[in-house]
Each structure stands twice: as structure tokens, then as C-alpha cells.
Structure 1
Amino acid sequence: MATPDRRSLPWTLRARDAVLSATVWVIARLMRLQSPQFASWVGGFWARKIGPYTSIQRVAMKNLARAFPEKSEAERAVIARGMWDNLGRMAGEFVHLDRIWQYNMWEPAKSRIETTGVTNFIAMRTDGKPALVFTAHLANWELPAIAAAAQGLDSAVLFRAPDNSFFADLLFEARSKVMGNLVAASHVAVFELAAVLDQGKHLGILVDQARRGGPTVEFFGQPCSSNPTIARLARLYECPVHGVRVIRLPKGRFRIQCTPALNLPRDADGKIDVDGSMQMITSVVEGWVREHPDQWTWFYKRWRD
């Protein structure tokens, strides 16, 4: 996605962005001096204090009411507070992306990361085929791409760059050091994604946001739009589709889980059905969110009135 020309914006917006960028730069440098665990705790502490008083909180509470009408307002507020804690922790962890990976299969007690579905990871690395991997904005969602690179999985990641050029550069610099190929979302990204699969690589895509004009799916019992990119690529390349999620654990630890390849629905011609596949994938994500609702980002406009 192209970044708008900053010179065309009003000076007030440019000044605001400059102050915000400078503030983030200073905070990032200070957090970098701390351990990943302490930076994570600090981020969670301040996010819990500030987040509930922002306009984003109202969106999150509205979405929580749609997803969990059976819960009380107080119960939904607890989930929202957990969401802020998770987002703050992720912000603290972001400056340590090159340090956060600490995995020892043989001595799990000494690892920051634990895994389940290891055989599915191994199969992807050794089968010689391209694969599509979907994940969601749960826990620290940067970790699946870091895990793929750390374990020697030839991979690429589709990401959406922020409009603010400072943040876009910051994100790209941090991610490029620890991840595979980075493909920025744009109107021509589909050609880059096709090239990734043509080369037999593995492509990771976040699938839990709405896309205007995309297939309609049920999410928490209510209709919403979905981004069909992953299903269209699966239909075109007939490659396996796996789900990978991250679960935040106590004491700064994480669990990464990989599903077996999904048995996606097919149409009368035997080809992968895009709409049906997006519903299956969305249902998997819903199950993940229901299991750990406090670790999902509830302020996305997944449902549109």
C-alpha cells in the first residue's frame, strides 16, 4: 500500500506525526535497554492504565457485546482489559523481535517458546511443496513468521504498512531482520504472492479482518465480510492450508500451535470453493478467539452496521 505524500498533509497533522514519531523513537530506545520480559510488563502496565479511556475502548466493548451477548458488561470489560494488556505487552516485545525467539525442543523448561503440532511444522518444511498459512491478531502475532525463519522454513509474509512513513519504516526494519520475505499489501501484491508460491515457498497471511466486497461469512453468529486472498490462492495452486496461532502464557512465555492441513470444501467441479473455505477458516479463528478472548484485538471493525 503506497504511503501518502507527507507534504500534501496539513502542517498540523505533519507536526502531530513528527511529535508522535519522536516520542515512539525515544520510548523504543529506552525499552530496548531492558529485558524482553520487563519491556513486556511495562507495556502491559501502561496499556491497561491508558487504553480503557480511549475511543478505541468503545469500539472494543461494542464488538464484545455483539460476540458475547450472554456475558455481563463487567465480564466484557475484563476481556477488554486483557486485550489492552496483551497489546501493551506486544508493543514492549516489538523492540526485542530479534531476541524474543528462544526455543529448545529438547529442554522445554529453558525455552521461552513451546510448540504443539510439531509434526505439521516438519511436514511443511520437508514435503517440497508451497503452503499457505493463516493466523490471527492473537497474543504476539509476529511470532509465527519469526518461528518460520528461525526453523529454516522458506517463507514470506503479507503485511499492511501503516500510512505514517516513520512507523512503516520502523516495522519493516524490525521485521526484515527476523522474518522471511516481506510483501506489502497493495493492488499488485497478488503478483508477488504468486511468485512466492511459484518458488515453492510458504506464505503467511493474517485473515481476521474485514474486506469490503469479500465473501460474507459467519463470525460469532453474525455476518461479516472476509478477505478471500488465501482461499483464492489455495484454489489456484492446490497447495496445503494450515492454521498457526500463538497463545500467550505466564512469565513471558508463548505456545505456538500448527493445525494439520485443512480439508477445504470443493465445488461441483472439484475445485476449492472460495466462499466455503473462508467460512471454514473463519470458524477456526473464532474457536481460537473463544478460547482466549482477552488475547484478540477487539477494536477491528469486523462487523459493519
Structure 2
Amino acid sequence: MYYLLYGTLYLFSLLPMRVLYIFCDLIYVILYYITGYRKQVVMKNLSIAFPEKSEAEKVAIAKKFYKNFIDNFIEAIKMLSAGKSFAQKRFSGNFEIFDEIQSQGKSAHLFLGHFFNWEVGGAALEHYSPLHMLIVYMPIKSQAMERLFIRLRQLSGAGLIPATPMSAFTRGYIAERKRPYMLALLGDQSPGGVEKAYWLNFFNRATPFVTGPEKSARSANMPAVFGYPTKEKRGQYTLHFEMIEENPRSVEEGELTRRYVKILERLITENPELWMWTHKRWKADWKSEYKELWIGEDVPVVRPKAY
């Protein structure tokens, strides 16, 4: 199954980008207008995040989102034949922040969100940064898809570390950290165990966040950096990096996550069409027994069940 999938997508990736973008537009029509792929989830999420926006404004955001969502994966597939040079030509950014970290003999912890295009952006970052990129990923249930995405992510030369099980994460992390590196973690989606998560208000609703990114940065006391892309035009992006904290152990527990969420919310508000809205981000409800997990600066905002 894997070889059939890989062979088909490889042949597809040989097409010029102008032709692939025509396919993107056709897929957009199918997903948005015909099948309505997760459209109810997307619109519900937009209503939670932007209650002040009109229905027409939310629909406009949703349409742009679906176009970016499809571009995200087609651009990643293009790398199967175009290689990492495809990513290098399409991304620029303030990569000098990593030059300074590397000059101090340090590694970095990279806090990320599901902003488009994170797949191609990772390949560009591995090329432009002096720090070796280590990508922590969630294994995919489909073995064929798992092998495909591993192959895609390995094209850049980045190290891949499975997030689960913990034994696999530990082995991968120890094996890969032989030179200055940046450990990249996506921390904006719903955690598996909300009873062990950090809780704080996110778009004015009590929301759980994974603890791994903060705990890892504090444990190693390595600079915590937030990275995100903006889309200049179709197929052209700029990567931006902001220092969250140079010495994570110098701040109280929860502070890195608080800063991360503030930046994340600001960026989603500024460029909502670039964030992954198909995920049920607010499916977990706040419970009073989670009070010791609350790290927000204000009281929990409890809303009716989201989905």
C-alpha cells in the first residue's frame, strides 16, 4: 500500500506548481462546496474564537482557510520530487536568532503552532538555521501514511522523534542531540490527558494545553523561541521567530505556556486563515477538580459545551 501511495504522489509531484495549484482549486471546490469536509467544526471554532464577527466574515475566513489547508499538503507533496530546494526558495525569515543562540554554545526549544505551511517551513528552517532541527511528531495510525510523512520530513535532513511512547521519544532524543539543535514541538492542539494539562483562557474559554513543551524547555534550560509563518502570496512565506524566554528556569512554572498562548492567540487573530480550524480544539470542558492545573492570570471562563 505504501509503495502504491508513494509512487502515485511522486508522479503527481512532478507536475509544475502552476498545474498543482489548479488541482488545489478543484479540491477546494470539492471539500468546501460538495463534501463540506469538517465544515461544521470549522464554523463552530470560528464562532467560539470570533463571536463578534458576522456570519459573512466567518464564511470568508473559512473559505481562505480551506484554500490554505489544501495548498499546505500539495506543497508538501511537491517536495517528494523537488526536494528541499523547493522549501528554500519559498521561505525567508529572521534566522539570525539561531546564529546568536548557536554562538553561545546553546541549543533551543522551538514552540510552534499549526500555521500553514509548517511542513515545508520545517525543511526551510533545517537549511537556514545553524541548529539541527529535531521534529517531535505524533505517529499516524495508517502505516502507509506514517511512512509517507516520515519520508517527507526526512527530505530536509531533520531528525524525527516520535512523541509516543515515551520510551521511543527518549531513545530518539538521546540519539539525535549530538550537536547543537532545536527541538520543535507543536503545542496548540488538544492534549490527550486534559486532567494533566495546563489550563488557561484561550479566546475567552477555559482551554487545556500540553505540558511537554514547557517542561522540556525548563528541564534543559534552553532558550524557548516561538516560530510562525506569514504568507506573502501563494507559495511564498516568511518565517518569524520571537524569543519567549532565554532562561526558562528563571520564571515560574506555567509562565512559558502563558506567553506562548498569548502570542498564539494574537497571531491567530491577525491571520485566522492560516491556522488549522478542522481540529475540535474546545472539546474538553473545564471541571472544578482541575483547579490545581489552572495557570491563567484570570479566572476560568466556562462556556456551554462546544460540540
Measured at CA, do residues 37 and 185 of structure 1 come closer, stay the same or move farther in structure 2, by a change above 3 Å? farther
Deviation at 1:175, TM superposition (A): 1.1
2:254 to 257, 270, 275: 275
What's 1:73 paired with? 55
What's 2:230 paired with? 247
**TM-score, normalised relative to structure 1:** 0.80
Deviation at 1:271, TM superposition (A): 4.8
Contact 1:130/1:240 (<8 A) preserved: yes
Is the partner of 2:277 in helix, strand or coil?
A: coil
Deviation string 1:142-197 (CA, Å, 9 cap, x unpaired) is 23421232124212100112111110011111111214110011031552475255
User: What is the alpha-carbon distance in structure 2 between the residues aligned to residue 128 and residue 94 of structure 1?
Assistant: 32
What's 2:294 paired with? none
Unmatched segments (≥5 aa) in structure 1: 1-17, 104-110
What's 1:176 paired with? 154
Please tell me the root mean square deviation across aligned C-alpha atoms, in Å: 2.6
Measured at CA, do residues 23 and 39 of structure 1 come closer, stay the same or move farther in structure 2, by a change above 3 Å? farther
What's 1:88 paired with? 70
Deviation string 1:232-274 (CA, Å, 9 cap, x unpaired) is 0121111100011111221421111111x213897xxx65433
Deviation at 1:79, TM superposition (A): 0.9
Contact 1:264/1:272 (<8 A) preserved: no
Contact 1:134/1:244 (<8 A) preserved: yes
User: How many residue pairs end up in the alignment?
Assistant: 274
Measured at CA, do residues 47 and 26 of structure 1 come closer, stay the same or move farther in structure 2, by a change above 3 Å? farther
What's 2:164 paired with? 186
Is the partner of 1:247 in helix, strand or coil?
A: strand
Measured at CA, do residues 185 and 287 of structure 1 come closer, stay the same or move farther in structure 2, by a change above 3 Å? same
Check if 1:132 corresponds to 2:115: no
Is the partner of 2:9 in helix, strand or coil?
A: helix
Deviation string 1:36-63 (CA, Å, 9 cap, x unpaired) is 3542452244124323533511011111
**TM-score, normalised relative to structure 2:** 0.80
Unmatched segments (≥5 aa) in structure 2: 284-304
User: What is the alpha-carbon distance in structure 1 between the residues aligned to residue 244 and residue 3 of structure 2?
Assistant: 45
Q: Within 5 Å, which residues of 2 pair with 1:112-151?
A: 112-115=90-93, 117-151=94-128
Deviation at 1:295, TM superposition (A): 1.1
Deviation at 1:284, TM superposition (A): 0.9
User: What is the alpha-carbon distance in structure 1 between the residues aligned to residue 111 and residue 178 of structure 2?
Assistant: 18
User: What is the alpha-carbon distance in structure 2 between the residues aligned to residue 273 and residue 192 of structure 1?
Assistant: 29
1:217 to 197, 200, 209: 200
Contact 1:37/1:251 (<8 A) preserved: no
What's 1:203 paired with? 183
Quick one: percent identity of the two aligned structures? 20
Is the partner of 1:245 in helix, strand or coil?
A: strand
